[in-house]
């Protein structure tokens, strides 16, 4: 990594369970950068869990914290790896932040079936949207958000048949 690329934050976006946090940790370690994980940031800044904020204050309130977390991460002078939350592309304000020159956005793209298999195998404490009908919800979210992820992405990496290490390697090979 050299030249102007060296100063850019590397931001991972994509639906829940595409591996943003896991791949983000691998990339941060490989690049020697801090990792900023959106849900962790929100929990640290509020002292509350994502689920508690969602249940007590509602989704709109949670989305404001999500925007604050993104703005805080991207305002850091030290280039970081950012694991964005799945909904980070919903607000136009966030999409403007992601379009900045000092931000390199990678969309971790997956078929909904891949994600359904993953979320039903894992505890989803911070994913209240998946409480009732995870398969249906992930399919709807994929349809609703696909164009938004594409609009902010500098690069796209398909994750369906890749391990987190292989996804991270593909991102590094592609010149983050």
Using the rule CB under 6 A, which residue among 52, 111, 129, 169 binds ligand S3P? 129
Question: Could you tell me how many residues of this chain bind ligand S3P (CB under 6 A)?
Answer: 11
Work out how close the CB of 101 gets to ligand S3P at its nearest, in angstroms, rounded to a whole number. 25
| Interface stretch with ligand S3P, choices 93-101, 107-115, 125-133, 165-173 (CB under 6 A) | 125-133
As a whole number of angstroms, the distance between CA 19 and CA 78 comes to 23
Work out how close the CB of 2 gets to ligand S3P at its nearest, in angstroms, rounded to a whole number. 31
| Interface stretch with ligand S3P, choices 70-78, 101-109, 123-131, 157-165 (CB under 6 A) | 123-131
Work out how close the CB of 42 gets to ligand S3P at its nearest, in angstroms, rounded to a whole number. 7
Using the rule CB under 6 A, which residue among 19, 24, 79, 86 binds ligand S3P? 86
Using the rule CB under 6 A, which residue among 39, 43, 104, 142 binds ligand S3P? 39
As a whole number of angstroms, the distance between CA 174 and CA 176 comes to 6
Residues 45-64 that bind ligand S3P (CB under 6 A): 50
- 87 binds ligand S3P, rule: CB under 6 A: yes
* Closest residue by beta carbon to ligand S3P: 86
Output the 3-class SS for the chain.
CCHHHHHCEEEEECCCCCCHHHHHHHHHHHHCCCEEEHHHHHHHHHCCCHHHHHHHHCHHHHHHHHHHHHHHHHHCCCCCEEECCHHHHCCHHHHHHHCCCCEEEEEEECCHHHHHHHHCCCCCCCCHHHCCCHHHHHHHHHHHHHHHHHHHCCEEEECCCCCHHHHHHHHHHCCC
Binding site for ligand S3P (CB under 6 A): 16, 20, 39, 50, 85-87, 126-129
């Amino acid at each position: 990594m050299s030249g102007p690329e060296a100063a850019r934050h590397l931001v991972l976006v994509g639906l829940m369970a595409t591996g943003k946090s896991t791949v983000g940790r691998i990339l941060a370690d490989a690049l020697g950068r801090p990792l900023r994980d959106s849900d962790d940031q929100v929990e640290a800044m509020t002292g509350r869990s994502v689920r508690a904020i969602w249940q007590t204050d509602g989704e709109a309130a949670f989305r404001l914290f999500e925007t604050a977390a993104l703005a805080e991460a991207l305002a850091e002078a030290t280039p970081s790896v950012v694991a964005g939350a799945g909904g980070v592309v919903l607000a136009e304000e966030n999409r403007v932040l992601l379009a900045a020159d000092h931000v390199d956005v990678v969309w971790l793209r997956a078929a909904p079936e891949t994600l359904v298999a993953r979320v039903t195998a894992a505890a989803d404490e911070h994913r209240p949207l998946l409480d009732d009908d995870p398969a249906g919800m992930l399919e709807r979210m994929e349809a609703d958000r696909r164009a938004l992820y594409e609009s902010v992405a500098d690069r796209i990496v398909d994750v369906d048949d890749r391990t987190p290490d292989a996804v991270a390697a593909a991102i590094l090979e592609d010149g983050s």
